[in-house]
Amino acid sequence: MKEATFTEKIQNRWSQVGMICVGLDPDFAEIPAVLKAENSSIEEVLFAFNREIIDATADLVCAYKPNIAFYEAHGEAGARALARTVAHIRDAYAEIPIILDAKRADIGNTNLYYVKAVFDELGADAITIHPYLGKEAVQPFLDRKDKGVIVLVKTSNSGGGEFQNLKVADSGEPLYKVVARNIANSWNANGNCSVVVGATYPEELAEVRTIIGDMPILIPGIGAQGGDIQKTVMAGKDSKGFGMIISASRSIIFASSGADFAQASRKATEGLVSEIQAVL
């Protein structure tokens, strides 16, 4: 049986459970001491933490989003923990898409190998990339019709406007709007593109939604970064009331530092789901 594409998976999850994405960013220093006492290696601690979070929240989320930095920092042990995390999701919850937050992009020849590493070897369903090298360079990602290509447009950090808000001479628009329009009009021929817009910029989020139509938007910045749920949902929803992958990491996975961390992560996820439903 042919595996569902990223687009099919995310649309199915929206209709079934909603639009919360849990970021699997296991900052080792913040992982509960009980797990460090029970497991003898960094690999086992990282994987055990992720597995407990996943098993506690799988019926509530539209996607999981591991950020590769939290694994690469631990060398081979981190790489194995990431691979085991992805394998666990694919084996136990194959219907839930996995977004690798890696912010990759390089010249085309290099991207061929990023594509192979992320999609074929690791088994992720989607990846975040940056647009700075242009469509020609990122074409290897775009060519994978079965996978998701999630392009940075307006990031959630306070300094993102240094370049993203610069006015483009040809149109007088800020760069992030030009990027969004190019993705919608030129890059998305295979219907596998999404964009990243931070919840910390609800006005810009609404502007991007107008530009891209019903294309999915990955929205970081809820929770620890202070993004407002009501403003985010009203600005980011598509014409069907969906269209958002609302990502929260620290506020969910570190909701408790005790032995009840998994149950606390579930409660925090349920709270976000309820907040979104109340707005919709």
Largest CA distance in the chain: 59
How many CB atoms neighbour CB 44 within 10 A?
Answer: 17
Structure confidence by residue, pLDDT tens digits, 53-75: 999 999 999 999 999 999 999 99
| Across 201-226, average pLDDT | 93
Q: What does DSSP assign to residue 66?
A: E
Q: What does DSSP assign to residue 117?
A: I
pLDDT recorded at residue 227: 82
Taken as a whole, the chain contains a residue count of 280
Cα distance between residue 212 and residue 153, in whole Å: 11
**pLDDT over 80 at 239, yes or no:** yes
How many CB atoms neighbour CB 201 within 10 A?
Answer: 25
**pLDDT over 90 at 113, yes or no:** yes
Domain boundaries, the chain: 6-274
**What average pLDDT is seen over the chain?**
96
Q: Which two tokens stand for residue 42?
A: 């960094």
- 3.40.50.2000, 3.40.50.460, 2.40.50.100, 3.20.20.70: CATH of 6-274: 3.20.20.70
Model confidence band, residue 275 (pLDDT cutoffs 50, 70, 90): very high
The active-site residue out of 36, 103, 231, 267 is: 103
**pLDDT over 80 at 224, yes or no:** no
For the full predicted model, state whether its pTM sits above 0.85.
yes
Structure confidence by residue, pLDDT tens digits, 77-106: 999 999 999 999 999 999 999 999 999 999
| Across 34-40, average pLDDT | 94
pLDDT recorded at residue 222: 86
Q: What does DSSP assign to residue 239?
A: T
Does 2 qualify as catalytic in the annotation?
no
Model confidence band, residue 125 (pLDDT cutoffs 50, 70, 90): very high
Percent of the chain with pLDDT over 70: 100
Model confidence band, residue 3 (pLDDT cutoffs 50, 70, 90): confident
